Structures are given as C-alpha cells and as structure tokens.
Amino acid sequence: MAAAAGEGGAAGGAIAGFGIARILEALPHRYPMLLVDRVVSLDPGEAIRAVKAVSVNESFFQGHFPGRPIMPGVLQIEALAQAAGILAVESFGLAGSGRLVYFMAIEDAKFRAPVEPGCLLDLTVRFVHKRARVSKFRRTAAVGDTVTCEVGFTAMIADPPA
C-alpha cells in the first residue's frame, strides 16, 4: 500500500463520507489495484470507515477460484491498507506534499469468512499508535455483521521519490 497525498488535508472533526474523486486524490492506486470505492466516514487522527463493492467482474475472480469465486485474503488486507492510507493522508495533512504512506508490516492476520462477488466489504481502520513517521493501525473487514478479516499493520510516511 502506498498512499499519495492529494488535496484536502486534515479537518478539525469528523468528515462525512466522500466518493471516488477524493479517494483518487489521496491514493496513487488506479485500476485494477484501487480497492476502496467510497469513504463512509472519517475522523482524522482516529478512524475511517470505507467500502469496497466486490463485483464478479474483478480480474482476480477468473482464477480464484473458478466455480467458487472468493476474494483473496491478501486483497482484503490491501483494501484495509488503502483505507488506512486515506486516513493517514487526511490525519497528517499530507495533501499536496507528494509524501507516500508505505506498508511496513502485517501482524496477526486472521481470515474469518469468505468474501464473494456481490458483497459490500465494510473496511474499518483505527489508529493504534500515531507518530510523525511510523504509525500502527488495527483493521477489520466485514460483510454485514460477519467479520471476514482482522489484521494489525504498521505503515511509514516517506518523502517523495527523487
């Protein structure tokens, strides 16, 4: 996961949801690797709730698994990491800086239930520790009331590439 700072920095309080245009400003990811479709709510410095609409048209379903399509667990973690990138960009006021948020470590990943086409994957991410360069997050992905993935991870903020 790498998140680029876009327009619209940290706000003084919770931010109502926003759509794909603002997500594209915050993240450098593009199709087919962009895995966040909408931000439902964002509380800078605290948490984000976002969603990924899982469609049968996703390229990974062609091979995972034919006849029983299931979203790969690593892509659930990537979707959560991208949501965390948006949270970091908004929380640290990285907008327009060109700085990136890089994935450093995955801790305690657990996969609880399969994610199938047609699901709306709910991505919830909270800061555990916040520092200027390195932060820890705790995340949960769910479909409805069913948790599909739980994971902790560490990310760092890096200067733009030369």
Q: What is the pLDDT of residue 11?
A: 43
Q: What is the pLDDT of residue 5?
A: 41
Domain with 117 in it: what CATH number? 3.10.129.10
pLDDT (tens digit, 9 = 90+) per residue, 14-57? 888 899 999 998 998 998 999 999 999 999 999 999 999 999 99
Range of the domain at 64: 2-158
Residue 25 DSSP symbol? H
Q: What is the pLDDT of residue 112?
A: 97
Give the separation between CA 50 and CA 57, rounded to whole angstroms.
20
What is the tally of structural domains in the chain?
1
Give the separation between CA 7 and CA 137, rounded to whole angstroms.
23
| pTM for the structure as a whole | 0.90
Low-confidence ranges of the chain (pLDDT < 50): 4-11
Exposure of 48 in the CB half-sphere (CA atoms within 13 A): 28
Cα distances from 87 to residues 3, 14, 22, 33, 57, in angstroms, run: 10, 11, 12, 18, 28
Q: What is the CA radius of gyration of the chain?
A: 15
Q: What is the pLDDT of residue 2?
A: 54
Active-site residue (options: 38, 64, 126, 130) = 64
Residue 64 annotated in active site: yes
